[in-house]
A and B are shown apart, each in its own frame.
Chain A
Amino acid sequence: MAELLIHIIVPIAIFGFIALFTLFAVYAERKIAGFVQDRLGPMETGKYGLLQTIADILKLLQKEFITPAAADRILFALAPIVIFAAVFVGFAVMPWGPDLLPANTNTGLFFIMAVVSIDAIGILMAGWGSNNKYSLLGSIRAIAQMVSYEIPVGLSLIAAVMITQTLNLNEIAFQQGVLAQEDIFFFGFWNVTEIGGILAWNIFQAPHLIVVYVIFFIATLAECNRAPFDIPEAESELIGGFHTEYGGIRFAFVFLAEYAMMFLVTMLGAVIFLGGWNTPLPNMGALKLADWTTGPFWGIFWTLSKSLFIVGVQMWIRWTLPRFRADQLMDLCWKIMIPVAFICMAISGLWRILVMV
């Protein structure tokens, strides 16, 4: 019975966290946009405009359900649920701290890649169900982009997994800090198992993993349909993309899914490349900073701060770079990122055989 209660409380807690995160991420996004564009952003509601997004969500919650007359009612109503559920399920295997994760499975990473691909079906459902040209075009663009960019994401993850030798996200996180069972080598020559900290992170275990992380970051940006890859939602061409017809709480769910996806991929990147819940502070002689800052609460703190920092970078990029054209987008994916990812994969294999013996 107690176990069943945990199975109910943990998802609710994660859902609550995602909702809270979305609220303040939208606020942060608007503030960052204001800063980049040299204006103030929300400032009227509450102190510094802090209550602006809460007011927004209250407005969305009390709006009427509007279904277009020509829409496919069932698909239209189900699509936001499928889109959100696909992303939400991904959080089931994410580690927040040492042995602190909802489901410790051997297939964690593979599981996330599979459930994220369900997201595409939800977007197609929304586009088709709305029975609107702009929605359909937006969803087709979104799928073409997501399916293409799944390949560099997959390849970069494979390149990292060839070094870690496990798909279990908990073990991957354990391998990158002072709690590791095996020896960790900084760039393959300096044993840093006792030192830990930033030196033990996966991106520093092999030099090419830095390139792999850059590929992963760009490709996941496209997976989330974020600028500069936001042609599925291009306001100037498509009104709003696949969610044009949605309003009220259904729109809120589509929005929630987008921000949850952002957090999911940044957290995944943090766990696989940036040490997960491990501290960036190394042990230096008598100053055992890494040992002092490792533990369940520190774990949650580091996971959150790393993920939120990268979410911040995503927002910064969104308001700095102009949007790609559709053919440039595909060129970047198929002609640059996939070949480079393949080369990195080959280097990973050689690195594992020749250096990490």
Chain B
Amino acid sequence: MEELLFYTFAALAIVSALLVVSLKNTARALFLFFITLFALAGLFLFALADFVAITQILVYVGGVLILMIFAFMLSNKELLKDLQAISGKFVDMPNTQSILLVIGFLAVMIYGIVEWHQQTPDWITHNIKTKQIIQSTDNNIHQLGIKFMTQYILPFEVISIFLLMALIGASQLSRKEDDR
């Protein structure tokens, strides 16, 4: 049952992501992106990362995707025509560039196959032996909060300063000229 669900989510993510980039209708592609994000959130759940899965929906679906759709709806019609007039070829590039791209991808895949070991890595087997694994009943949020406030305090603070900068920038941009 769980395996079936996992493969359904995985297939959904891949198929919808492929459709997002290949659909001619930009509006439909944007709404389809929602399915991709949702399926990814489902996959996060299988990694016992429930907090990440919900954050994915909250931030990407509730925020980023809506902003993208808004930007699409409010943008110029002529600009959108340019976007939609893409040729139907799979790789729309000059031959020299596409050859480079293909060789690059091939190299990455060969490297992956060469480096791939059949057995599980040592650190995983070591952690299973010492019982340092997450159970599905654990309270992940509690752990996350403690880690954020101790081990990862610097990245956490940097992100909050970054968000504050974005907020101030946004309010500065949307300000009327005569308010100065």
Contact = CB atoms under 8 A, between A and B. Distances in A.
Partners in one complex: yes
Given A107-B50, A110-B51, A143-B70, A75 B62 contact: no
A314 B62 CA distance: 25
B66 A107 contact: no
A107 B141 contact: yes
A74 interface: yes
Contact of A117 (B27, B58, B142): B58
Nearest to B74: A140
Interface stretch (A118-126, A225-233, A344-352): A118-126
A58 B62 CA distance: 35
A140 B71 CA distance: 11
Contact of A114 (B28, B62, B65): B62
B54 interface: yes
A115 B54 CA distance: 8
B73 A118 contact: no
Interface string A99-111: 0000001110011
B54 A75 contact: no
A117 B67 CA distance: 13
Nearest to A136: B73
A258 interface: no
Contacts, number: 63
Contact of B54 (A110, A125, A140, A143): A110
A147 interface: yes
A121 B61 CA distance: 8
Interface residues of B, number: 23
Interface string B21-63: 0000101100100100000000000000011001101100111
B16 to A, nearest CB: 13
Given A106-B50, A110-B51, A140-B73, A118 B28 contact: no
A245 interface: no
B106 interface: no
Contacts of A140: 70, 73
B139 interface: yes
A167 interface: yes
A150 B62 contact: yes
Nearest to B56: A114
B140 interface: yes
Contact of B31 (A75, A107, A147, A167): A75
Contact of B66 (A121, A136, A167): A121
Question: Majority SS of interface residues in chain B?
Answer: helix
Nearest to B145: A165
A111 B62 CA distance: 12
A124 B50 contact: no
A120 B31 contact: no
For chain A, which range describes its interface: under 10, 10 to 19, 20 to 34, or 35 or more residues?
Answer: 20 to 34
A110 B58 contact: yes
A115 B28 contact: no
Question: Majority SS of interface residues in chain A?
Answer: helix
Contact of A106 (B25, B27, B139): B139
Interface in A110-159: 110-111, 113-115, 117-118, 120-121, 124-125, 128, 136, 140, 143, 147, 150
A194 interface: no
A158 B28 CA distance: 35
Given A121-B34, A147-B66, A75 B27 contact: yes
Nearest to A144: B70
Interface string B91-117: 000000000000000000000000000
Interface string B117-135: 0000000000000000000
A114 B58 contact: yes
A291 interface: no
Given A118-B57, A118-B61, A120-B62, A72 B50 contact: no
Most-contacted residue by chain A among B28, B31, B50, B139 (CB, 10 A):
B31
Q: What 6 A-B pairs are tightest by C-beta distance, nearest first?
A: A117-B62, A114-B58, A114-B57, A114-B54, A106-B139, A110-B54
28 contacts: A75-B28, A75-B31, A105-B50, A106-B139, A106-B140, A106-B141, A106-B142, A107-B50, A107-B51, A107-B54, A107-B141, A111-B54, A113-B58, A114-B54, A114-B61, A114-B62, A117-B61, A117-B62, A118-B34, A118-B61, A120-B66, A121-B34, A121-B66, A125-B31, A128-B69, A147-B63, A147-B66, A167-B141
Given A106-B141, A140-B70, A167-B141, 20 more contacts: A72-B27, A75-B27, A106-B50, A106-B140, A106-B142, A107-B141, A110-B58, A110-B141, A111-B54, A113-B58, A114-B61, A117-B57, A118-B34, A118-B57, A120-B62, A124-B66, A125-B31, A136-B73, A140-B73, A147-B62
Interface of A: 72, 74-75, 105-107, 110-111, 113-115, 117-118, 120-121, 124-125, 128, 136, 140, 143, 147, 150, 167
